[in-house]
Structure 1
Amino acid sequence: MAAAVITTVLLLITYFTATKSTVIFTGSVSPNFTASHFTFIDQTGNFLRSINQTYTAAILSQEPTSSSFYVVVYHTDSRVIVWTANRNNPISDSGQLRLTQTGITIYDDSGTPVWSTPPVESKVDSLHLFDSGNLVLLDSLNQSVWQSFDYPTDTVVSGQRFLLGKTLVSMKSPADFSAGDYKFTLTSYDGMFQWRNSTYYRLLMDPKSIKNSNQPISYLMVNGSGFYLSGDSGVVVQVLLSSSDKDAGYRILKITNDGYLTVTRFINKNWVTDFTTPADTCRAPNRCGKLGLCSADGCSCPPGFHNDPKTNTGCSFLESSLLFPTPCDGNRSVLRENSSETYSYVKLGNGMKYFEIDYMNPFASGVSLSSCEDLCSAKCSCLGLFHESSSGLCYLIFNNLGSIISSSSNDSDDKLGFIKAISSSPASRFQDENSSSDFPLVGLVLLPASGVLLIAIFAIWMHRRKRSTKMRSNSKKLVDSSYTDDLEMFSIAGLPIRFDHEDLVQATANFSTQIGSGGFGTVYKGVLRDKTVVAVKKITALGAAGQKEFGTEIAIIGNIHHVNLVKLKGFCAHGRDRFLVYEYMSRGSLDRTIFGSGPPLEWQERYEIAVGTARGLAYLHNGCEHKIIHCDVKPENILLSDSMQVKISDFGLSKLLSPEQSGLFTTMRGTRGYLAPEWLTNAAISDKTDVYSYGMVLLELIQGRKNCVQARTHSSGNPTTSTEGKSSGSSGTRTHYRARAFYFPLHALEMHEEGRYLDLVDPRLTGRVSREEAEKLVKVALCCLHEDPSLRPTMANVVAILEGTLPVSEPRLELLNFLRFYGRRLTEPSMAETGVEVEVPSGFMVPTMDSSSPSVSPSTCSYMSAQQVSGPR
């Protein structure tokens, strides 16, 4: 027994000794690596440092007494955390990080995964922490398959590119790493600040922001000399820093837990703040708590309100019988015409502003105050309103109430604010300053108790009936009945404008100029009142799910801003129809340019189209808060401006189709000829499905024609003619020929095997394209066509290859053999050839097909009509 005890003690001593001897790795670690705070406790959770020890990766908690641990990267000297993996899912000190060939996974102490890197396209060979602060997974070829810089949390470090569409989300508090209420998002034209999804500031509003050009913004960067928002051709916006020695030290940019964007500098072992915005502290939306009044003198409460005794933050109604109404569950508003609740409105007073009003569109215009109140009363998520008496503009505040800003007394703004209140007692609910009773109250004193009760019930019924009728009448006049509650979200700056149907009728001259049509409906050219030319898409076939999700989808699409994506300017709901208003692209769709009869595109133009399309798809896949798979990438959905700028259209709209329209698509979505093999095998659909379609489009760019066409060939060496059966005077002959399919992807594969890349280039460009240029695009296209989706490159990698930052990969022939099957099925006589007898006028030469220049008919093989299967161009 004693021996067993001694053995156990020795084992424990050995275990803890081994634990204590754990050392911090430098530079990188390899798969099958496991770390926990407990196993690295002698290193305070540190397990990996960059080569020059600038940054450290660790498993730690923010406070010594906390039991919540996070996998983080921090700046070694200052110990400031710059990135967090599992910010919303903390683990205990025995929770583990495990590195395998499939990526990083974090487990809690029960062995349940709580966070992991997304699936990678090749096996992980190592995990590196670079001196830039970037935590990177590399494969055996030293190519990045995942990096922390693509998934920022609340901080951007010196030298890091914070890309278009990315979002920084604040911590809840300095001691709580989880996602807070504040966001900073980089758009193509500005940096946007949001509190609980309501915009409260723009970076260009700061007086230190200097705009140098109007080109689209691509990324943000902070370094030793400044803070910049840059585009493809240079700095678009720069923020001047006030420090005299701004070339010294280490800088970071951070969105703080109270809603400020700061740039701080670590110098002489101290942090110095170089920049803070909003500079006006009252611009922070929750600076003084709920309905707290923020001024230069600090925080107070508006008249009619007092400090909230329950929370000791913000303000509540001074009258004890009034309460804030409870908002609807979630973010949806529910019409409450039949609700038993009666609302009153407490005036905020003159000289008081609300942060959100500057960034939202009015809910209605030309209405009275009482009508504006009725609109708010009809929406349970409406918590307050602002009304402008001079114009009748009505602004509704939904879901959240922040602080009130005290404005100057000489402010000409005549918007008055009112906060929605509900009585805490049935008696006081009946007292509404805007209502009147048809029954004299004095009569209640003269009636017996039972009579009083009956009369009271009758009066309440009459009051509610009148109020309900009034609200319905006003709503019908002021707000189109088709503006369902899920469209209320369009009050955030940067999201689409809600157009009146009459405005679109006028802009399109009653929809007289049609410029496209397709599965989503019809597209018309229009000119808005400000002379902006637009394309108005009328969607007429939304199913029940599409009608329900319209608001959500448009909110997502409208908040996406990228130079290579068509911008959604606005929307309209009218009856069962929905309208989308897009920027107008003067040259139309790519198919008209490359397949049309006009002059051919030069090779450099085709290359730029390929790069622009790849950038747009990469942004949809990786740059948005919501990953978007286009599902219908083809030339008809790639638009061009006069300056040949590329913009992808119809992204994110496929989910709105009705079931009947879905039947026009093969399997689910997309156009035959561009569909990836997984559509036909019921395999999982991913962003790699778009990669396949992109590869098909790239082949069409290279050759300047459709991938699958029918070419005509004689049934014998010479055409046969006959005048048999012809009437006198007929000049025609009867000719037999066959239509034979030509499948270019198979031809491209065969030419690749032989190294004959120039044979694949549009013959109109002969002598103007080098072999190396053609080889690069052909190889990229074939890699995109790999049958196994996981072995296709990502669109981000395609962009990197085309831009020259990644080497061109070799197509894997075993993954392209399916093209031989497809091509031979199309070209074998039983499938592709049809004996056709047509009458040809005398003197007309029947075109023949030879190996060098097949004569193309207008129709393509294995293609449904583009208008049948996709959205309009």
Structure 2
Amino acid sequence: MGSLIFFLAFVSFHSALVTCAPFTEFLYPNFTASFLQFVDRGGTFLLSRNETFRAAIFNPGAQQTRFYLCVIHSDSNTIIWSANRNAPVSNSGKMMLTSRGINITELDGDSKWSTPSLQSLVSALQLNEAGNLVLLDQSNATLWESYRYPTDTIVIGQVLPFGTTLYSAVSSDDLSSGDYSLALTASNAILQWQDMTYWKLSMDTGAFTNSNYAVDYMAINGTGLYLFSHKGSAIVIQVNLPPSGFRTAKLDYTGQFSIRSFSGADQKQDFVGPDDSCRIPYVCGRLGLCSNGARAYPPQCTCPSNFHVSLQNTTYCVPIDNSYSLPLSCNSTNSSINLNFSTVSYVRLGYGVDYFSNDFNMPAKYGVNLSVCQDLCSGDCACFGVFYENSSGSCYVLENEVGSIMYLNIPDSGRLGYIKTLVGPSPKNYGDNKDSNGQTLGFPVVALVLLPFTGLVILIVLGSVLWRRSRLPRMGKIKTSHSNSPSGDLEAFSIPGLPVRFEHEELEAATENFKTQIGSGGFGAVYKGMLPDKILVAVKKINNLGIQGKKDFCTEIAIIGNIHHINLVKLKGYCAQGRHRLLVYEYMNRGSLDRSLFGNGPVLEWQERVEIALGAVRGLAYLHSGCEHKIIHCDVKPENILLHNQFQAKLSDFGLSKLLTPEQSSLFTTMRGTRGYLAPEWLTNSAISDKTDVYSFGMVLLEIVSGRKNCPLRSRSHSLDDCSSSGGGSSTSSTQGLVYFPLFALEMHEQGRYLELADPRLEGRVTSEEVKKFVCVALCCVHEDPALRPNMVSVVGMLEGDLPLCEPRVESLNFLRFYGLRFAEASTIEEAGGNSDVLHLQANTPHTSTMTGSHTCFSYISSQQISGPR
């Protein structure tokens, strides 16, 4: 009897080890599969018809503790779907197909995952050639399909409906739902971490917005990635990709959204977002400082100044000073430890750093000082730090969870970060200074051991710094004149704060003897260059400044060079050698706004215009009220708004008017050639103030709305004819297809017909309310009376939505009707063959109105007409 029992047990054990061949395309109820049953096939129990996909009880990474029911792309071994991602089973777990659906259990029968209740009985399970796992009834109708329950991936033929979210895995071998998610909004696809947005599809330079319809679903095909609306008949956003027969769109466990195409076992990455991995919230751990993310993955991770890596958790950075500790979260079981600290303090992060969520979240407070901003955080246990923007008084708070810090590689990002710390003994969870018995090392013992050594190190470092400064006199200081100096005319003076001084020969080499001109203006031509460290720069040759002596020039350059803001072009250096005057700026790879706005390239989408307008106005607000030396730009126009990656806008040529002597300031307007943006006070002997820039910005804002020049000399098919034909036939605003757009905007504002002002090339991809906001703000900015114009900080608030819109005062805008009349007259003369002398004479004809003809944007203004201090 005993031998019989042993024999039956042996047969049972042996049969369990016998593996089965996988089935093709269909399975039927009362089927059971386990990893051990199909171990020789890697757990694969079902193949699609052409074996493109396989279904398996699979253990990613060859680990032996977590097994999942997966659908896998056969050639690349890529998992495109998993059933029990949050409830893995052991290698003896089973998948059972019954007439009621699929059920995944452990060997003991403990259920881990099952399909929901179905409307009818299951007749078959199919794995089709698109990678979709489908339960069918007896009529071959679909009862359930894996496509409707995506995990972290979609494939060609599959859609991600609005309201459905992709969640990343925890790691390459742990498919549990991670902290990163991809969701669809009404207008975009966004990536989030801890419910905080860190990327939008529309941010990518290859993404094109085609309509403002509400998004229904996301899909990929052989030519690109698309957000569709109206049941697929309208495209909201598209990203064109190289043709491919099969590709996946996946939210990786790293936090990046990637699209890959496959050819057999070979795969190619066609798209990744964000392309700068430093924008991934936790890429360097808690408070880790991320750099070089645009060039490599993984990026370079360090700790910010005043922080070091925690000994207890190497993914955390903690204060170097042991008397400061990071607070615990509100929901921590040890949160009561926060009450043991008598003082809350803040450790400042270094310059040139920022936090990913600041670009997506509204400030917690606007128009406050730093002390008020920190007080908001001090009393909130969910707050771990703040970022403060001095130019606008904006206060951003870091709440609930803190991720990595981004290094922006610029001296001043516009915001400074402060991490909240508690003054007192280190909390248990973060203490790094323990002896072998777990006791905190006292300060006197540490001091006795380290103080002599620290003093020696400080002396060595100080000596090294002094030696290096003696070897590098260029940084912030003019070289002293020597007999072997190339020019022999450098004065022996020192001016604090100067940027790097370049020799003329260095800039000749950087620009290949000023080979590639990329722009020009009243102050001179601009050339593309590359410094020895491979950094691209823009080199401006300054002409006709009239500065008497290099010290005056360098004093003003020191002021300009110390103005740092994310929306101001950075002055990197200068040259003042002999008669040469050159300025070296950071290189803006998308050129000036006028090229994108008025050129023949891809049309600027409305959201891109919004971001450009906000960038320009933030830069102006900083010049007017945020920097130590208030600066009036005096030449705000699209040519002086430069664009960088993702259409980030930065003002250029700010502060250069300070380099003019009083005598030469009268030539300022004609020298710079800024017709169309001049405020009336330039021509009425009134004082020039920051409200002059406000007027110019209002005119620029109107051009951003329309996509055309306010004062065109010739009609353009995409805007002028359309505007003139839709304007309602006002005689003062159009003639022979030419339109004075500011007057047309006023007329349409009075009639509430805002959509007629939008760039026709947008083809309905902007709403009336969106245009109304811009037009109302622009008209308020161009009030004839400077006192009625808002300041730039208020303009920022209105465009961001924090302040209510101002109401344009028609009585202070009636001068636009006169401008429109004179524009029509001048246009008629030009069409009839008139010359500039006629225009000049007409522009200077006196009128009884307080608004003289010289106000018109098309006129050629003589130096005698312009006066007033800068």
Normalising by the smaller structure, the TM-score range is 0.3 to 0.5
Higher RCO (Cα < 8 Å, 6 or more apart): 1
TM-score (norm 1): 0.46
TM-score (norm 2): 0.46
